[in-house]
Each structure stands twice: as structure tokens, then as C-alpha cells.
């Protein structure tokens, strides 16, 4: 059979971009299919240099527009959705889905996907994460361990460029890092006080893919903290700043945007993929592109949807769904935060607008089983930061008026400090995504139906994160002002994983140890849907390493005549 392309990559976010780079650089002719609109690095960042006073409505939203078109995207708890990147997100009004239980599906709608909009924190998993399911009995065992992926972590880190500090902790593996960004005065106090009281707890600067040194054509971070507008300097890693340009340089990449994937087409006799059926978002016209292999990197929820839609004679319940596992075991991270005021240090300020925060590695259940006195399985990390209060924070304080009021607001206020626990949720079969039997989208495709909820373990862990966060702030000398659950709605923290998990048994997993679909070995899935559990640290670096590993394996299989 002759093919239009050697490989089709579905999605252009961090994993789709990495797949395209790796496959083209290894000699394959590659097509990227992206559902969103086109966007060009640098030229497409139309709001990057717009000042707040020149922003439409001074940066305030049109409330009617937000309520109509962005009720879900705008409800992100950490302020990711802003006036200056609104045009990168999907319009909820145009891409509906069914919520059997409340769920926030956070999605981009441009070439590069959420690689333009992510928080940029990167951490290696350790065997504490890869062995978690086997140790405590939740979910199924991972088919790989840290040693299998460690070489790819190293290669990814050297390529993407991450800054931070190594601590030499076995459960928080060291990385290939550029020099760290500096912590503020109160953060340094927190680090000292916390470690003095709890020697097993370490506060460090975040490990971020914001460069602190020039790397190839990408410049260092300018400390503007407007990353999610798009960065013309390429100071943070995205598909547009790194992987797609490198893939384009090979001359072997074709990119098609505004392409909705209807299904992966499979051969009725072999079950293997022969291509991808698409729908032109503008015209509704359907077309099938053929290829030797397919890499599915549409994002956890969308990848599960495409696999479910790709039912065929050899895959009657969805691609790779022999054991009714596809769409199940959805997990992510909950969030529980504590914030307060640090007295003193008012003669100190911060430099620029650091696009990074602080990080406290996991300190609960470090042997993989419940410690004495702990009421939950797994663990959590703490992320946080600090800033001086400004006039918007202090405007309602005091009883002064006129010139005195203006003078007070012209000076920086006290230091705000906060810590937020990123709580690992457990993989459970009842947390699932399905195709709704009735609701359809504008293209006639089934809408996704979400039936995902938090459990008792997550609630207990979040409570512990609030208690321990409060204790750590107080030990640092801060006055705690409040706390709360700011990510308890599934999906909203964007670390959504599972649904097409890896494993050794086709009856209990969708993918094998090399991210190949069981029964369709020329289909590789390497985004968050491939994950077997959520882990306790941010997952994106693991997605990238799995993608690089799978791409290397796929090309080797092609050369060996097996694909």
C-alpha cells in the first residue's frame, strides 16, 4: 500500500510538537492535524506588547461575552484565562459537552495548543510514582519504571531548556538544569524556617522551562510574566518556539489546521490503522489521509474521544478497548491553598516579574505506603510564591483620605505569601469519559460525557495540605489570612490523565509499554491519556519523555519492517 504520509500526528501541543520533531528528524514524512486555527510564532502574538492602559476596556472583560462564550474557560482558579490570551482558548459555546457530574474541560484552539498556555513547571517522576499502583493497590501497575524513561528525561531536558535547583532527593530526581531563578526575601525565610522545623521538607525554586540562559535561537526570560500571551523571545518552551520550527527545518513536515478528527481508520482484517478521517472545520468536507503510523496527541480528553469514535470491525467498542477500559480511570490533581502576610522585610522588594514560583517536594508517605498517623494514600507537593501588596490590594484598607490616601497607596504594602497543595487523585474505574448516546456537536459527532468526581482519599489529602500549609506559613512567621479548595472541580487544574492507560494486559489497558494501542500497534498515544496514575508532581515532562521514547521505538520498528 502507498501512503500519503509516513506518520500522522493528531494535535500540535507539547506532545504533538515533540512527536513531529522526533519523527521528521528521523527521516519520516509527517502530517500534523490540528483542530484549532493557525498561529505563527512571533507574528501571531498580537497582544504580547500591549500595555494595560491600551488594552480593550483596560483589560476588563465584556461580562456578557464571557458568560455566553467562555463560562468554563474563564473559571480557571489561577487566572490563566485573561484578556490578553482569550483568543487562544476555545469558545465553550461552540464546543459543548455533557456533564453528568461537573467537569471543566480546559482547551486551546490554536496551533501549538496548550503549550502556549501551560504553567511551564517540569519535574521527573520517580519510582515512588511509577510503583504507586502496585504498592497500594489502586489502579493497575505501570509497565515501566524510572530506569526505562530516565534517558529520555535527560534528552528532553537538554532540548527544552529548564531552570531550577537540584536537591539530590531520591523521590524528587535531579535534572539537567540551567541556573535557578532567585527566590525573594520571604521565600528564603520560609525555606530556612521550614527546613529547620521539618528536616525532611525542602523549599526550592520551581523548575520551569523559562530559560535563564540563551539556548540556540531562544533567548533568556525577560521577567515580564506575560508568557501566556506568547513569547517572541522563545524564552519558554512551546511547540511554536521550538519543536515545530525544528520539524519544519527538515522539509518533511506538513501542517493542516482547522481539521477536526472524526476517527482513526482501521483495516477490517488486521485492526491496524490505515489513516485518519478528518472534517474541515470551515466547510464540513470530509477527507481521509493515509499513513504508515499514527501518533495521537490531542490532549487527554480529546484523545479518548477520538479512540472511542474509531470503532471498527476489529475494535467494536473503540480502538484498543477490548476490556472496557478506554475512557476509565481519569485522574488529575486537586488543589488546596493557604495564604497569609509575612511581617517585616519591607526594605526588600523583588526583581522584575518572575515567571516562576516556589516548590516543596512531597513529604508524605515517602515509602509508598501510609505512614503512621496519615489517613490517605499517595501524597502531594506544595507550590507557592510571594509578592508585595500593591494599591489594588490596599485600596479598601485604612480610614485616610485625599493626599494621605494617595501617598499610602503609592508605596508597596506588606509581603503576601502562599502555599498550595497539588493533590494526587486516585485512578478509579468509575471516573470515566464516554460518548453521549444523544448529544451531537456541529459536525454530527457524539459529544463527550463526563462522569468524574473526587473521592474520600482526595478530600483527606486536601485537608492535610491545608493543615500542613498553614503550619509551614506560621512556622515561617507569617499570619495566615485564609485557605480553601481552589481546584476541587475535576479538570480545572489541567493535569488530566488516564483514559487510555498503559499496561501489559489488553483486558486491563489500552496501550502497551511502548504506548502502542493493543491490537493496532501502528497507533501510538503519548499524551496524558496514556498515564496509569496521576503522580504527585507536574506531569508534562513525563508526557514529553514518553513521546520521545515512543517516536524512537516507532521508527526502529518501521526500519525493522514490523510497522
- pLDDT-derived band at 175, boundaries 50, 70, 90: very high
Binding-site residues from annotation: 15
pLDDT for the residue numbered 208: 98
Question: Does 196 fall in a domain?
Answer: yes
71-128 pLDDT, tens digit per residue, is: 999 999 878 999 999 999 999 999 999 999 999 999 999 999 999 999 999 999 999 9
Distances (CA, A) of 338 to 200, 414, 462: 20, 17, 11
Q: What is the mean pLDDT of residues 250-274?
A: 98
- SS3 of 493, please? coil
Instruction: Note down the domain range covering 549.
Output: 5-45+61-559
Number of domains in the chain: 1
pLDDT tens, position by position, 345-369: 999 988 899 999 999 999 999 999 9
- 451-466 in b/e burial notation, b at 16+ Cβ within 10 A? bbbbeebbbebbbbbb
CATH number of the domain encompassing residue 237 = 3.50.50.60
Percent residues over pLDDT 90 in the chain: 91
The pLDDT of residue 286 is above 80: yes
Q: Distances from the Cα of 98 to the Cαs of 103, 357, 493, in angstroms?
A: 9, 35, 19
- What is the pLDDT, as a whole number, of residue 328? 98
Assess whether pLDDT exceeds 80 at residue 399. Answer: no
For residue 53, being part of any structural domain is answered with: no
Residue 52 included in any domain: no
Mean pLDDT of 405-409: 82
Domain assignment of residue 54, yes or no:
no
pLDDT, mean of residues 459-468: 97
The pLDDT confidence band at residue 407, using thresholds 50, 70 and 90, is confident
Contact 161, 211 (CB under 8 A): yes
pLDDT at 487 over 80: no
Looking at the DSSP assignment, which residues form a beta bridge with residue 65? Answer: none
Say which residues have a Cβ less than 8 Å from residue 65's Cβ, sequence separation at least 6. none
pLDDT value, residue 396: 73
Q: E strands within 155-200?
A: none
d(C-alpha 409, C-alpha 419), whole Å: 26
Characterize the bridge pairing of strands 5-10 and 30-33: parallel
Average pLDDT of the residues of the chain: 96
Q: Determine, yes or no, domain membership for 422.
A: yes
The predicted model scores a pTM of 0.97
Look at residue 283 and tell me if it is in a domain.
yes
Q: Which residues contact 322 (CB under 8 A, 6 or more apart)?
A: 315, 506, 507, 518, 519
Which residues does the annotation place in the binding site for FAD? 15
**Cβ neighbourhood burial of 352 (10 Å; 0-12, 13-18, 19+):** exposed
With cut-offs at 50, 70 and 90, classify the pLDDT of residue 390: confident
Sheet holding 380-388, edge to edge: 204-205, 358-360, 380-388, 415-424, 333-342, 479-485
Residue 51 lies in a domain: no
pLDDT, tens digit, 9 for 90 and up, residues 302-325: 999 999 999 999 999 999 999 999
pLDDT value at residue 412: 86
Q: How would residue 481 be classed by pLDDT, with cut points 50, 70 and 90?
A: very high
**Res 501 pLDDT > 90:** yes
Q: What is the pLDDT of residue 531?
A: 98
Amino acid at each position: 500500500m502507498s501512503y500519503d504520509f509516513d506518520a500522522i500526528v493528531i494535535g500540535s501541543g507539547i506532545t504533538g510538537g515533540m512527536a513531529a520533531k522526533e519523527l521528521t528528524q528521523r527521516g519520516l514524512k509527517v502530517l500534523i492535524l490540528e483542530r484549532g486555527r493557525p498561529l505563527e510564532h512571533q507574528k501571531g502574538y498580537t497582544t504580547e506588547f500591549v500595555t494595560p492602559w491600551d488594552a480593550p476596556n483596560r483589560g476588563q472583560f465584556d461580562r456578557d461575552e464571557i458568560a455566553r462564550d467562555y463560562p468554563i474557560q474563564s473559571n480557571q482558579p489561577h487566572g490563566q484565562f485573561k484578556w490578553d490570551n482569550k483568543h487562544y482558548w476555545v469558545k465553550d459555546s461552540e464546543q459543548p459537552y455533557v456533564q453528568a457530574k461537573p467537569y471543566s474541560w480546559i482547551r486551546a484552539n490554536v496551533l501549538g495548543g496548550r503549550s502556549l498556555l501551560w504553567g511551564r513547571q517540569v519535574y521527573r517522576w520517580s519510582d515512588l510514582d511509577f510503583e504507586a499502583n502496585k504498592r497500594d493497590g489502586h489502579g493497575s501497575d505501570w509497565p515501566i519504571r524510572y530506569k526505562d524513561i530516565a534517558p529520555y528525561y535527560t534528552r528532553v531536558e537538554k532540548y527544552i531548556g529548564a531552570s531550577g535547583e537540584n536537591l539530590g532527593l531520591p523521590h524528587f530526581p535531579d535534572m539537567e538544569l540551567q541556573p535557578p531563578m532567585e527566590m525573594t526575601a520571604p521565600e528564603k525565610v520560609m525555606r530556612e524556617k521550614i527546613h529547620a522545623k521539618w528536616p525532611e521538607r525542602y523549599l526550592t525554586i520551581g523548575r520551569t522551562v523559562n530559560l535563564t540562559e540563551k539556548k540556540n535561537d531562544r533567548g533568556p526570560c525577560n521577567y515580564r510574566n506575560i508568557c501566556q500571551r506568547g513569547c517572541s523571545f522563545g524564552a519558554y518552551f512551546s511547540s511554536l518556539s521550538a519543536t515545530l520550527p525544528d520539524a519544519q527545518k527538515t522539509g518533511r513536515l506538513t501542517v493542516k489546521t482547522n481539521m477536526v478528527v472524526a476517527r482513526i481508520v482501521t483495516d477490517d482484517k488486521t485492526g491496524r490503522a490505515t489513516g485518519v478521517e478528518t472534517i474541515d472545520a470551515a466547510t464540513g468536507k470530509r477527507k481521509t489521509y493515509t499513513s504508515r503510523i499514527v501518533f495521537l496527541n490531542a490532549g487527554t480528553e480529546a484523545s479518548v474521544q477520538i479512540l472511542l469514535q474509531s470503532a471498527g470491525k476489529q475494535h467494536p467498542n473503540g480502538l484498543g478497548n477490548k476490556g472496557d477500559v478506554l475512557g476509565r480511570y481519569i485522574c488529575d490533581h486537586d488543589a488546596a491553598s493557604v495564604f497569609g502576610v509575612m511581617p517585616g522585610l519591607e526594605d526588600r522588594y523583588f526583581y522584575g516579574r518572575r515567571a516562576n514560583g516556589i516548590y516543596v517536594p512531597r513529604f508524605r508517605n515517602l515509602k509508598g505506603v501510609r505512614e503512621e498517623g496519615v489517613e490517605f494514600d499517595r501524597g502531594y507537593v506544595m507550590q507557592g510564591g510571594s509578592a508585595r501588596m500593591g494599591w489594588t490590594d490596599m485600596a479598601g484598607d485604612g480610614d485616610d483620605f485625599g493626599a494621605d490616601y494617595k501617598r499610602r497607596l503609592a508605596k508597596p504594602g506588606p509581603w503576601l505569601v502562599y502555599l498550595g497543595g497539588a493533590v494526587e487523585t486516585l485512578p478509579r474505574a468509575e471516573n470515566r469519559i464516554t460518548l453521549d448516546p444523544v448529544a451531537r456537536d456541529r459536525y454530527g459527532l457524539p459529544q463527550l460525557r463526563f462522569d468524574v468526581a473526587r473521592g474520600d482519599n482526595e478530600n483527606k489529602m486536601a485537608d492535610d495540605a491545608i493543615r500542613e500549609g498553614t503550619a509551614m506559613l506560621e512556622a515561617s512567621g507569617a499570619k495566615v489570612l485564609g485557605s480553601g479548595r481552589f481546584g476541587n472541580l475535576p479538570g480545572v487544574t489541567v493535569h488530566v490523565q488516564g483514559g487510555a492507560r498503559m499496561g501489559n494486559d489488553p483486558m486491563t489497558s489500552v496501550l502497551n509499554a511502548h504506548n502502542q494501542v493493543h491490537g493496532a500497534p501502528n497507533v501510538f498515544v503519548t499524551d496524558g491519556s496514556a498515564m496509569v496514575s496521576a503522580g504527585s508532581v507536574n506531569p508534562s515532562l513525563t508526557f514529553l519523555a514518553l513521546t520521545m521514547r515512543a517516536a524512537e521505538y516507532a521508527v526502529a520498528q518501521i526500519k525493522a519492517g514490523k510497522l
